[in-house]
Amino acid sequence: MQDLKIALIQTDIVWQNAAENRSRYSEKINNIQEQVDVFVLPEMFTTGFSMHPEGISETMQGKTVAWMKNLASKKNAAICGSVIISEENNYYNRLIFAHPNGKIEYYNKRHLFTLAGEEKVYAAGSKKLIVDYKGWKICPLVCYDLRFPVWSRNKENYDVLLYVANWPKPRIAAWDILLKARSVENLCYTIGVNRVGLDASNYEYNGHSEAYDCLGKKLTNIPSDKEFIEIITLQKEHLNKIRTRLNFLNDQDCFEILD
């Protein structure tokens, strides 16, 4: 049972400047000498949380996806984060998971942030993604999805719940509480990677990127309000032992989500 090393990359984002952001991420990731299995970037990591995708959106054949594929191959590690994608006359807040072998998987954010009018600009996703990677099952979600436990409920027996976010400072207490709750209720590792800094609308982000084990034990010690990278190790044997001894998932309610 292979352990999984995850790099949580908490960083500021240059507003709507994909080339500069890619350059900064390349430098940060290339400076990591330790072998890592997955690098996790924030939500809309090339632009910041923008409601104006015109002129800054990309396609799946664009520069950012190509950059992710190339860097994943070079580092022999997966890279994930969300990007503004244009496809079939729609814009998507799309989490992209780039495997080191060139395979690309993606998840379109389901719960669009109505407080900012995200649902007026972007199309919502309708399907969860479960990534099979190095013997682990990973369920990646995006920011506002964190508030909706029915959608994230562990019906697929995944091992890791992964959130990328632009979660603002005034509501960061909810972020802390909900990440821990998702780990306990789904009996899984839960990881959240959030940005820091100010965006063009003067919204402030203070990080609080963190990870929890399946019992709600915090695994990270990332400082708030600054760029920081922490590498953690997820232990499959630990997860399996807890699930064997405390088989809470066997008792969960059955349900179906109707659109």
pLDDT digits (tens, 9 = 90+) for 78-122: 999 999 999 999 999 999 999 999 999 999 999 999 999 999 999
pTM for this predicted structure: 0.97
Please confirm, yes or no, whether 180 is among the known catalytic residues.
no
In the chain, where the domains are located: 4-251
**Spatial distance between the Cα atoms of 83 and 86, rounded to a whole number of angstroms:** 10
Catalytic residue, candidates 43, 58, 118, 230: 43
**Spatial distance between the Cα atoms of 158 and 155, rounded to a whole number of angstroms:** 8
| Mean pLDDT (whole number) for 234-244 | 96
Query: pLDDT tens-digit profile of 115-135?
Result: 999 999 999 999 999 999 999
**Spatial distance between the Cα atoms of 107 and 199, rounded to a whole number of angstroms:** 24
Catalytic residue, candidates 109, 118, 128, 139: 109
Please confirm, yes or no, whether 226 is among the known catalytic residues.
no
CATH superfamily of the domain spanning 4-251: Carbon-nitrogen hydrolase (3.60.110.10)
Catalytic residue, candidates 80, 139, 143, 214: 143
- Among the residues of the chain, which ranges form H helices? 18-30, 63-75, 118-121, 149-152, 172-186, 236-245
Please confirm, yes or no, whether 27 is among the known catalytic residues.
no
